Every structure is written in structure tokens, then in C-alpha cells.
Chains A and B, each alone.
Chain A
């Protein structure tokens, strides 16, 4: 369709103008999270199981005090390398009050793999009141909810990176202080990566806060990275299955489309050249 030189010129100049115009100065004050490397990234991405398991430990020992994860069931933990008995043991750590005894009273029972991670608060109101009015977001889809993708990779924000950045984005020495000239309301903390910079969550992670079973040094950054990997899995547990199937579909379709190309070419051979046309009858 684009065969006219004038039109090519026009398109090129218009695009240049648009690029100039669209070079808008972003208004956000929050810093852009740095990119980390993840084994789950890319076309052949696989879950980083040891890191996800460490992340689960951080979640259970630290984050779960305030953050729920309503949509993740214990049975799903089998996907991140736990066997049936381990899953049962993890589930049994929790208690649920949803069975009726013979008198119709609620009674406690211990969790089973089919149960979902329990919420630390009975409802949102209780959660807000316990956290100075702020609602700790649910972890089930949080990484996806913080992921802003654009056509330009460097302009994209990846959910995992955001989590790592947020975990480590407090000002280390005095976490409750803000740069000069920044009015920080009481009960809030200054974080470089949080939109608006004033966050209600106190710095959640400190070095050696947990003791990893596999001996990995529990630095603040390491814990943030592990919990980000864990949350990323929780948000998108079918990622690996999706990419594996995608590879098969892609390879198959490329073969199939090649066959279709040659079939089409073969069918059209005579018609394309106009060999069927008798020029005297036009």
C-alpha cells in the first residue's frame, strides 16, 4: 500500500514529530524500580523454586501478619516443590472455624491442603483499624496489579521489581524521615518507590530477620527478592505451563504455516502469472 515516495516521507516526518511531542516529562515523583534478573523471565522462563520456597518462608513468618493471600490454596504449594506430606504439614499449622459440632456451634479444625491461606484479619475494617487506617493489600494478584508494561522495555515496570524496590526503598538509617522539604504525616514512612512516597507500611524487612532453611544469607535484598519471586508465582501460577505450551504451539504453527504457504503458492501458480488469460479475448 505504501508505494509512493511522498507518502513515505510524510510518514517519516510525522513519526519524528510525534516522537518529539510524545517525549513527555513524566510527572511521577516515585523512582523507577531497577531491573533484577529472574529465572522466570523470558520465553523459556522457569520458576526459581528455591527462591520461591524461601519467599514462602518470608511470607509466612513476616508478611502474613498483615497481608492476606485469599486465592492461594495450600494444595497449590505442590507446584513449588513441596510433596503431599509437607503441604499437609503446612496446612495443619493453621486453624479454621467453619465446622458445626452436634450442638450447632462453630468448632475449630486444623487446615487441610484444600484450604486457602487464612486472612490475618476478620474483615477489611479490622485490617484498617489495626494498620492506622491503611488496608494491607491481598497478595494473590498483587504482582500483576503493580506491573505496568509498555512497548518500551525500559519504560515498563515489572511487578517483581516493584516489590523488591519497595522492600528496600526505605531510607535505611532513619526509616521514618523524609528528604528535606517533604512533609511526612505521622504514622507514614518515606519510600523512594512508592507513588507519592508516603507509605503506611513500616519497613518490613531487616537483615537476618528470618533464618533460611537452606542457609542462604537473609539479607534485606535477598528476602525482598525471594518474596517477590513467591508473590509472582502466587499471581501467575500457570506461567511456566503457559510458556511451555506456547513453545510447542509456536513451533507447530511455524511448520503448519510453512506448509500453508507452499500449498497456497502451488495453487496460485498459474493464476498469479495470468497463464489462463487469453489476451485476444480481453
Chain B
């Protein structure tokens, strides 16, 4: 980090302000020219910024929608329709917010998988990784409660199913029996539930901002990893964040906005569920309850285990196991570029998780290839999911012969230019 420059105020006024509140200096040294990053980051490293962008988009559009939304079981559905029909640009803001949740998860999934592939969870970035998992958990809670607010059929029944997960813990003395009623504020999902979900859905994004600041802080201690996975401590290994990565991120953001716009303007309902266009009815369960796509793999794991408690435990474990990754992976080389076998299993893991997502939206009794049910496939896939963390990762990472790693990032850049 020796190349990091210090902020020099360019005018007397700026200096006067900086002496009293060193805000510009903070920005300069965390996002400007004063912060340096490895010179070889590829486009996979754009997704952190994209996730930050999506958080801002969700908070801004959310605050605006809250000016028109009514958290009441009789008016919630109609107020969302009022936003879409009558509020100026309400249809646009609502579509951005609803599809924005999907976009947020999409970029975060790429961000997480980038961390998997390039070993971003490995020493010295364990706490950075933990904070990322916490962000993801808060996102899931926020997204779930947000999905309840339009008070359509899928909102209502999704809320009912997910809150019922907690009834699996009814064996715990004293609190076990009452935990679901405590969540609901009644004996079923109803007005108190909707009201508190609205309150928490408004609160949690700001908690998220706080954890994101910690995440960025923790990032700035060791700095970013890079595709080679080696430490960037050579004299030419780093370049200033601005203008190089601000320009690169701006380009990536532009491409992402186009992708986002396709959904907002041309297929705003594609990622949603049609049953949510029907007002919630506590007496009629939809034929087929499915969560939003970003929860599907975990929903498949939940259903794969026939025991209620064990299913819930497996579902939570499938995410919490990420906390153990820095120790499950014992490789001394970070990047999977130099770990062919790990790379192979990484792609198996990705495909398997996508397949779990596919299974999550089927009915467990659906018959698939070989005449096996979706449930059977989900059980195999769930086994593979956990085997990846508990068997493959510890063994392969410790036994694999890695490919030679370049001595420095700058050397690798020169080498690539010679070849290319």
C-alpha cells in the first residue's frame, strides 16, 4: 500500500473544511485515487459495486413507494395497484423495486461465486467473508418480508409457510410453542404480521448499509484479491482506484442497467408469480406455493428432508456452512486458476445448485428422468451440496497438486503481453 497517495485539498476553502471534517480525504482514500487496487482485476470484480448500486436503488425506490403504500390487509393490494395505475411514474418505480430485488440477488450471487472461485474467503479476509454472509442473510430476510407487502396470494401463503418453519423448534422449552404466534402477533398471518413486516422491511436495509460499511472497511485492510490470488505487494502490482476502476465500474454498471431495463420495461412480471395478482385469501391455498427464484435452492433442500425439524436445520445449515469455508479449504493457493481439480468441483457445485433451484419450483411428486421423483433428485442434490463443503473441499484442497503461480501481478501482465 506504499503507493497510496494522501488527499491534498486543492483550495483554501477545501483545506478549511478538511481540517475540521476530513470527509473528502476519507472518500479520496477509500474510493478515489488514494485507494489502490490490484491492476489485474477482471469484470467479476464489478459485482461488488453493482450490489452496492442495487442497495441504493432499492432504498431510494422503497422510500418513495412507502409514500403511497398502505400496510393494511384491506388496502395493501389495492394500494400497490394504485401505485401502478395512478401515481406519477408509479408503475416505473414499482417495477424497479420489485425486479430490483431479483437483480440485487443476481449480482450478489455472482459476487459470492467470484469469492468461491478466486478464494476471497481465505486468510486474511475471513472477517470480510463473514460480513458478506451476514449481508446475504439480512438480504434474504428483507426480501422475504418485502414480498409479503403486496398482499397477494403468494405473499400471504409464502409468509405462512416460511414463518411456520419456526414451529419446527417447538421442542424448545418455554419459547418453542409461542415462537410462531410471537412472529405473527396473532394466531395466523394477519394484520399485525403485515404491519410488523412493513416496519422491519423499512428498517433492515439501513442495517444492511451499516454492515456494508463494515464489509468495505474490512476490504480496505488487506485490499482486494485478484484473479491470480497472489498478494499484490510488488512495486507495479497496484494502480489507483480512480480513474481506472471507477471507469471500469461505470462501464460495467452501464451494461448492467441495460440488462435491468429489459426486465423493468419489457418483462416486469417475468420474475414474479401470477398468483400474486390475486388478493390474499386466507381460505384458499394456491395449488402450488413457490418462493421467489432466489430462494429456490434452499427451498429444495428444505423439502428434500422428510423430517420437519431436520429439513429446517438443513436449510439453515446450507447457508451457515459458508462461515466454515476459510477452514474447510486448506489450499495454500487462493485462485482456482491454479487448482484444476477444485475448479472442476466448483463447476459441479454451481450446476448442482442451479439444479436444486430448478427442483425447488417443481412439485416434489413430479416425475423426472429415470422415473425418479423430484424429491429423489432433490435428496441426491442436497447430498452433493453438503458433500462439496464437507468432503470435497477439505480433501481436494489439501491433496491437489497446484499449477505454478506467477511471482507477481506485474510479471504476469508482462508475460501475458509477450504471448498475446
**Residues of A in contact with B (beta carbons under 8 Å apart):** 1-2, 4, 6-7, 10-11, 14-15, 17-18, 20-25, 27, 43, 70-71, 76, 137-138, 140-142, 144-149, 159, 195, 235, 237-238, 241-243, 245-247, 249-250, 253-254, 256-257, 260-261, 263-264, 267-268, 271, 273-274, 276-279, 281-282
What is the chain A residue whose CB lies nearest that of B253? A260
Closest chain-B Cβ to A9's Cβ sits at a distance in Å of 10
> Which of B81, B91, B117, B367 is A140 in contact with, Cβ under 8 Å?
B81
Closest to A261 in B: B251
Asked whether A242 and B268 contact (CB < 8 A) given A257-B255, A268-B248, the answer is yes
> What is the chain B residue whose CB lies nearest that of A1?
B117
Task: Rank and list the top 3 A-B pairs by shortest CB-CB distance, nearest first.
Answer: A246-B265, A145-B277, A21-B369
Task: Tell me the bound Cα distance from A24 to B274 in angstroms.
Answer: 22
Contacts of A195 in B (CB 8 A): 287
Q: In the assembly, what is the distance between CA of A241 and CA of B267, in Å?
A: 14
Given known pairs A71-B81, A146-B274, A253-B254, the reply for A281 and B235 (CB within 8 Å) is: yes
- Are A23 and B369 in contact, with the CB atoms below 8 A? yes
Name the contact of B417 in the complex, choosing from A138, A263, A273, A278 (C-beta under 8 A).
A273
The answer to whether B92 has its CB under 8 Å from any CB of chain A is yes
Q: At the interface, yes or no: B169 with Cβ under 8 Å from chain A?
A: no
A256 to B253, CA, bound (A): 11
Complex-state Cα separation, A76 to B39, whole angstroms = 56
Whether, in the assembled complex, B233 has its beta carbon less than 8 Å from a beta carbon of chain A, the answer is no
Report the minimum CB–CB distance from B81 to chain A (whole Å). 5
* Complex interface residues of chain B between 217 and 269 (CB less than 8 A to chain A): 234-236, 239, 243-244, 247-248, 250-251, 254-255, 257-258, 261-262, 264-269
B-side contacts of A254, CB under 8 Å: 258
Q: Kindly state the separation between the CA atoms of A60 and B228 in the bound complex, as whole angstroms.
A: 68
- Which chain B positions have C-beta within 8 A of A146? 274
| Cβ contact within 8 Å between B369 and A282 | no
> Is A282 touching B254 in the complex (CB atoms < 8 A)?
no
Of A24, A145, A148, the residue contacting B278 (CB under 8 A) is A145
Interface of B is mostly: helix
B250 touches A264 (CB 8 A): yes
Beyond known contacts A71-B82, A253-B258: 14 more, CB 8 A cutoff:
A10-B348, A22-B369, A24-B374, A27-B366, A144-B277, A147-B274, A149-B267, A242-B91, A246-B261, A257-B251, A260-B254, A263-B251, A264-B248, A277-B410
**Taking the nearest CB of chain A, how far is it from the CB of B379, in angstroms?**
14
| Cα A71 to Cα B248 with chains together (Å) | 46
**Contacting pair A267 B247 (CB below 8 A):** yes
Check A71 against B78 for contact (C-beta < 8 Å): yes
Shortest Cβ gap from B404 to chain A (Å): 16
Check B250–A260 contact: CB distance below 8 A.
Answer: yes
Question: Is the C-beta of B21 less than 8 angstroms from some C-beta in chain A?
Answer: no
The listed residue (A2, A257, A267, A279) touching B414 by CB distance below 8 A is A279
A250 — which chain B residues lie within 8 A by C-beta?
A: 258, 261-262, 265
What is the number of residues of chain B that contact chain A, defined by CB distance less than 8 Å? 64
Flag if B236 contacts A277 (CB, 8 Å): yes
A141 and B85 within 8 A (CB): no
Pick from A14, A23, A268: contact of B244, CB under 8 Å? A268
Report if B408 contacts A (CB, 8 A). Answer: yes
Residues from chain B with Cβ under 8 Å of A279 in the complex: 414
Beta-carbon nearest neighbor of B261 in chain A: A249
User: Which residue of the partner chain, among A1, A17, A20, contacts B44 with CB atoms under 8 Å?
Assistant: A1
Contact B414 A237, beta carbon cutoff 8 Å: no
Whether the Cβ atoms of B351 and A18 lie closer than 8 Å is yes
Of all chain B residues, the one with the shortest Cβ separation from A243 is B265
Would you give 18 A-B contacts (Cβ < 8 Å), ordered by A?
Answer: A4-B344, A7-B344, A10-B347, A21-B369, A23-B368, A43-B266, A71-B82, A138-B279, A140-B81, A147-B274, A241-B91, A242-B268, A250-B258, A257-B254, A260-B247, A263-B251, A273-B417, A277-B236
* CB pair B85 A243 closer than 8 Å: no
The answer to whether A18 touches B348, judged by C-beta atoms less than 8 angstroms apart, is no
Task: Tell me whether A4 and B343 are in contact (CB under 8 A).
Answer: yes
- Whether B278 contacts A141 by the Cβ 8 Å rule is yes
